[in-house]
Chains A and B, each alone.
Chain A
Amino acid sequence: MSDTLLPLLKKLLSLSGLSAYEAPVREVIAEAWQPLVDELSVSRLGSLHGLRRGQGAEPRRRILLAAHMDAIGMMTTQVVDGLLRFTEIGGIDPRILPGQPVIVHGRRELPGYVVQPADRLLPKALRGKPVPMSHLLVDVGLPADEVAELVRPGDLISFAQPPIELGETVLAGHSQDNRASVTAVTACLQELQHMRHAWDVWAVATAQEEETLGGGFTSPFEIRPDLCVAIDVTFARGPGVSSDQRTFPLGKGVTLGWGPNIHPALFEAFQTLAKQQDIPFHLEVMPRHSGTDAYATQIVAEGIPSIVIGIPLRYMHTPVELVSLKDIRRAGHLLAEFIATLQPDFMNEITWDKANE
């Protein structure tokens, strides 16, 4: 089954689907999930909901797996002399932009490049320094009159870097954050085909995480699960990043988040299971905002016990984000094994002070 994961991930990494405009990637995820779930729907904000019913007696408890599908990118702010000025959607370091291939989603899709004007064309104070986004341009290789007809402010600009295989297990591409996790949820659904599980499973590809956590707030409200698992990427060790507790080796295991966004009893349950199953993992401390959908899911309605599973990723928020397929498979496997252990009375164990009792 898992040999379908690499082609799926490569396809997901070849699509746009910027925050609030997720349709291109949503359609492909829906196609991948169709045979694995009982029902598919799309929320009012654009999240994809896949329901896989459990085998327990009704009313069944529900677990929600949230992996955001939206990507960072850019939006046109001005068309001037055939070139485009732009702003960001999601957080982008402008220093990675000059020379990036992009697609401008105008009246038709236009391939182009982000370009850095030569120093002679920049204000004196900026010469020799990193060029801020306000002074970068996009060139689509067309004459000014044609560009004026085809592009207008508000047109999206997505990264066009195709995925690159670095060896057999590592893939580089844009929007690995967080389509690596969408792939992990897919792996989980595949494994569940061959497992018994009492609970209903709601696989959710959330929308708008990079800007507002919009899907992370609204999908749990609509679904009202008993538990939420946010699956997102985390920082892998690599050049320019210190080897402190905030970074993790690439391809050497997933992370389990620990902090205020995470229910300690749920953490305990996952940790125990991962040890039993010999699934390599690292503790990831999240002292404040977890930086994931769990920040939202935890405070939906009357509150939902939540946890974060992290997949280490190198060079986050660049078009060459590196993720190991090994970690994607591990995350999917851990999720499936956890779901299989869930009994109808599991919620009795989920009390905040359980550890102290």
Chain B
Amino acid sequence: MNDIPLLPIIGDAEIALLEKLSNANAVSGDEGEVRAIVLEQVRPLVDEVKVDALGNVLAVRKARQPGALRVMLAAHMDEIGFMLTSDGEDGLFSFALVGGIDERILPGKPVKVGKDHVPGVIGAKPIHLQEEGEDERSIPVDSLKIDLGPGGENKAKKGDRATFATTFQRVGPSLIGKALDNRLGVATIIELLRHAPDSIELIGAFTVQEEIGLRGARVAAYAINPDLAIAIDSTPAYDLPLWDGSENTVYNTRLGAGPAIYLTDSSTLSDPRIIQHLVRSAEAEGIPYQFRQPGGGGTDAGAIHKQRAGIPSVSVSVPGRYAHTPALVVRLEDWQNTLRLLHSALRRLTPDVLAEPRP
């Protein structure tokens, strides 16, 4: 283990792993492709690994000293996407949305269908054939089809999943790809297991079905029964200029400003002791961080903190623009700093943190 640097650094190998994770398809309830990558990655790093009844991957890296805290790190493997709902007459399949997708972004997009990633497209009515004012109305998903071309009815079947066909790319300081919500979290936990401190027991929970109701995290937290939990996810950066030039006061988070620590979202009030621990760890090492603007949204922490008799929890996210669209845009430095912050906090974590009374 001596050849592993103490501090995790994101280099070409780590980005290549994220790319593989981003290009894999894992619509909620069909996480097998990502699960296979995760299992391959974590097996050499941990003492125990299992796949539970829902498909969560639970990977345990034991402490190397007694009396250690047991820490759950949760990141969901699943992504938003589609399920085919018809038999695909003439290669045209009806489909339903899985997870929170804004139907305004569907027309004119390429998709990948099924285990073989069969290429297809979601088309749109030609502008030439539209009535006046038609472009002011949304196109309902019921009227759209996934088009696999002539003979496509033999290439996929009702019940198959589909995702946007975006290919991961690195552009200047940015990483752009589909499903970076939450393959970033998945990749982050893999790196933390690789660089796990000996002073704590670290349990990586790669969860399923987050996008349709935090279902995997709920049972994972029950089974793990940790002393505390950190959900690692992606959160929207709404840091765009406003149409009228006025100040954007609802940016949620900003790209380039570091990992986003959650104070409160729509389903969780983060444990203030762990927030303080994160802040102290960041400031001790000069790691940039930001508080996510309070309110809205949610992560696996919403299910975890109410499990059993209560599990002190917090969420830390990599800020990203355009979540739940074909292309999420994140800054590499934000991911690196998220990893640094979490590593620092885990290294410094002692039972004293939770021994403090809650405020």
Question: A residues bordering B, Cβ < 8 Å?
Answer: 80-81, 83, 91-101, 110-113, 115-118, 120-123, 128-131, 134-135, 137, 139-143, 146, 161, 164-167, 169-170, 172, 235, 238-241, 246, 250-251, 291, 314-320, 322, 324
Contacts and interface: CB of A to CB of B under 8 A. Distances in A.
A97 B104 CA distance: 10
B236 interface: yes
Contact of B123 (A98, A121, A131, A320): A320
A288 B108 CA distance: 29
B138 A129 contact: yes
A160 to B, nearest CB: 10
B325 interface: yes
A180 to B, nearest CB: 15
B164 A99 contact: yes
Contacts of B256: 143
21 contacts: A81-B241, A95-B107, A99-B322, A99-B327, A116-B105, A122-B243, A129-B136, A137-B241, A164-B121, A166-B152, A167-B152, A169-B150, A172-B110, A172-B119, A240-B125, A241-B125, A317-B126, A317-B127, A318-B108, A318-B124, A322-B149
Contacts of A121: 238, 240, 242-243, 248, 250
Interface in B105-130: 105, 107-110, 119-130
B104 A95 contact: yes
Given A83-B241, A118-B238, A238-B123, A324 B150 contact: yes
Interface residues of B, number: 60
B341 interface: no
By Cβ-Cβ distance, the 3 closest A-B pairs, closest first, are A166-B149, A96-B108, A141-B174
Nearest to B244: A123
B149 A167 contact: yes
A166 B120 CA distance: 7
B286 interface: no
A113 B107 contact: no
A320 to B, nearest CB: 4
Given A116-B104, A120-B250, A235-B128, A111 B171 contact: yes
Contacts of B105: 98-99, 116
Nearest to B245: A80
Contacts of B321: 115, 139
Contact of A142 (B102, B109, B174): B174
A304 to B, nearest CB: 25
By secondary structure, the A interface counts as loop
Contacts of B144: 239-240
B137 to A, nearest CB: 7
Contacts of B183: none
Given A99-B326, A113-B327, A315 B127 contact: no
Given A81-B240, A83-B240, A95-B107, 15 more contacts: A93-B125, A113-B322, A116-B104, A129-B136, A129-B137, A166-B91, A166-B152, A169-B149, A172-B119, A238-B123, A239-B143, A314-B123, A318-B124, A322-B147, A324-B150
Contacts of B45: none
Contacts of A96: 107-108, 124
A134 B244 CA distance: 11
B219 to A, nearest CB: 32
B108 A250 contact: no
Given A83-B241, A95-B135, A320-B108, A143 B173 contact: yes
A99 B123 contact: no
Contacts of B242: 121
A134 B147 CA distance: 30
Given A100-B108, A115-B321, A165 B119 contact: yes
Interface of B: 91-92, 102, 104-105, 107-110, 119-130, 135-139, 143-145, 147-152, 164-166, 169, 171-174, 176, 236, 238, 240-244, 248, 250, 256, 321-322, 325-327, 329
A250 B152 CA distance: 14
Given A115-B321, A324-B150, A91 B243 contact: no
A91 B128 contact: yes
B110 A164 contact: yes
B240 A140 contact: no
A250 B151 CA distance: 12
B128 A316 contact: yes
Contacts of A118: 236, 238
Contacts of A318: 107-108, 123-124
Contacts of A141: 171-174, 176, 329
A40 B325 CA distance: 45
B108 A101 contact: no
A143 B332 CA distance: 12
A144 B121 CA distance: 33
Nearest to B240: A117
A10 B104 CA distance: 29
A138 to B, nearest CB: 11
A130 B171 contact: no
B104 A131 contact: yes
Given A113-B322, A166-B152, A315 B119 contact: no
Nearest to B323: A118
Nearest to A244: B129
Contacts of A322: 121, 123, 147, 149
Contacts of B109: 99-100, 320
Nearest to A315: B123
B130 A93 contact: yes
A134 B243 CA distance: 9
A110 B176 CA distance: 13
Contacts of A128: 138
A315 B124 contact: yes
B112 to A, nearest CB: 10
Nearest to B238: A118
B209 to A, nearest CB: 24
B147 A139 contact: no
Given A161-B110, A172-B110, A239-B92, A130 B123 contact: no
B81 to A, nearest CB: 14
B325 A98 contact: yes
A139 B329 CA distance: 9
Contacts of B126: 235, 241, 315-317
